[in-house]
Every structure is written in structure tokens, then in C-alpha cells.
Amino acid sequence: MSKKSRKNSSKAPARKTARAVSKAPVKKAAKAVAKSSANKGPAKKSAAKAAKPAAKVAAKAPRKAAAEILKAAPVAKRAKTPAAAKPVATKAATKPPAAPKPIKEKATVVAAPAVAAEGAKAPAFHLPRDGGATVSLADYSGRKLVIFFYPRANTPGCTKEAIDFTRLAGDFSAAGTAVLGVSADPLKAQESFRDKHDLTTPLLSDETHAMLKSYDVWGEKSMYGKVFEGVLRTTVLIDKDGKVAKIWRGVKVDGHADAVLEEARRI
């Protein structure tokens, strides 16, 4: 056999042996070298010699691979259970919301309820009277009107006052003046008061106190050491134009109706 053919024949077994050695441990590589049919005679020693470095490399390869696996294992473990992502603070999240602009509302002016005062327009009213009819300020438009407010029907002072105005009813009519009596008594009490004393002056009932308050005749009173709210004895004279001509407060009954008639004649 020539040197060239001998050289080629020695290379082929070495390549096969190297493949086997790279795939197995050192012991298996040695066996593969021993069993190779091509490695006979002089080529056997050279093939074995050539296989040793490859076998060492193959033996070291699993170790290095194992070491690399061990190094990579913690990283892989951390990758499986990633830490919770920290919230990223943005300008929109950290910036407090702008306070809403206050809505400017137009001021509404609420008119105060009219209160009787001399020289001012008399407050309007609409009330029931004895007998079931209703009476309003408008019913006396163009005429003078006297309204006497009394605390309670069938009490001594109220009875005398109502009788005096009834006695002068003709004189008031001649002076072009109508007369009305008003209290907070219910209609039944007013009618009983009328029938008992033959009163001809219309008696109005204001149980809600609305008209009494508008004429400023409902307020605090005291009697026998007790404080309570009720009608303050008052008389109002209204002229033909519907304006308050005169107000009598804290009325004393004796001679009062006559004084009112004189004032009604004068205006």
C-alpha cells in the first residue's frame, strides 16, 4: 500500500472516532476507538493518539454545559416569576385635578312682604267673612276703609269695640268709609260673636295669620305673667287711593271708634 492511500485510510477512521468521542464520555470514546475496524496495525496507534484530545474535549463539554445550565438556572427561575412592575408615574397621574371653576349665579332679589305703614300702599288680602262670603281689599277700591283688629271674639274689650263700630256704622257710611273687623278666630266663633251682640260690621277670619302679619298686628303679648303670640289691638285707616292714612297701635277701647270716625271725615 502506498503512503498516500495509507494516509487517507488513517484519516477516515479518525473522523468517525472523533464523532463518536464527541457524543460520548471518555470511556465510551476509548471503546469506540478500540472497536474501530479501520484502526488496525500502524493506524491504530495514530488514531487512538488523535482521538485522545477529542475525547478530553468531549468529556469537558458536558461539564461546561452543566456549569452553564447551573448558571442559567437562577436566571430562568427569576424569569418564570417576574417581579411586579412598578407603576410608572406620569404627569397626568401625579398632577392633582384642577378645581372646577365656580359657577357665577345671578343674584335673585326676593321682594320683602308688604307691611302696612303710614303713607305706603296697604297690603292686599283675601279672607272669608261671617256668613261664608269672601272679602278682599280690591272690593273697596275708590273708597275709604277702616279695619279694626281685635284679639279675640266675645272677650270684654273686643265686644265693646265691635259694638261701638256697629253703633257708628251709619256715620262711617255717610263719610264714604267702610268698616271691617278682623281676628284670628274661626268663622264659627265670628258668627257666634255677631249673633250674640247683633253686630252689623263684617267680621273676617285670618286663621293663618298671613294678613295679620302683613299689617304687623300679630306678635308677642303677655297676660297674667304668661307670654304668648296673638293679635295686637290695632286700627288702620286706608284712603281712597289704597294708601294707609293712619295707624292706631295699642288701642284703648273707650272713645276709640269716635276718634277714628273723625279722622275718616277729615281725609
Instruction: Return the active site residues.
Output: 158
Rounded-to-integer distance, Cα 151 and Cα 126, Å: 19
At residue 114, the 3 state secondary structure works out as: coil
CA within 13 Å, CB half, 124: 4
State which amino acid sits at residue 237: L
φ/ψ (deg, to 5) at 240: -65, -25
Task: For residue 132, give the nearest of 231, 203, 207 by alpha carbon.
Answer: 203
Residues contacting 236, CB < 8 A, separation 6+: 116, 122, 146, 147, 149, 215, 244, 246, 247, 248
Q: Which residues contact 195 (CB under 8 A, 6 or more apart)?
A: none
3-state SS, one letter per residue, for 24-83:
CCHHHHHHHHHHCCCCCCHHHHHHHHHHHHHHHHHHHHHHHHHHHHHHHHHHHHHHHCCC
Contacts of 38 (CB under 8 A, 6+ apart): 9, 12, 13, 16, 47
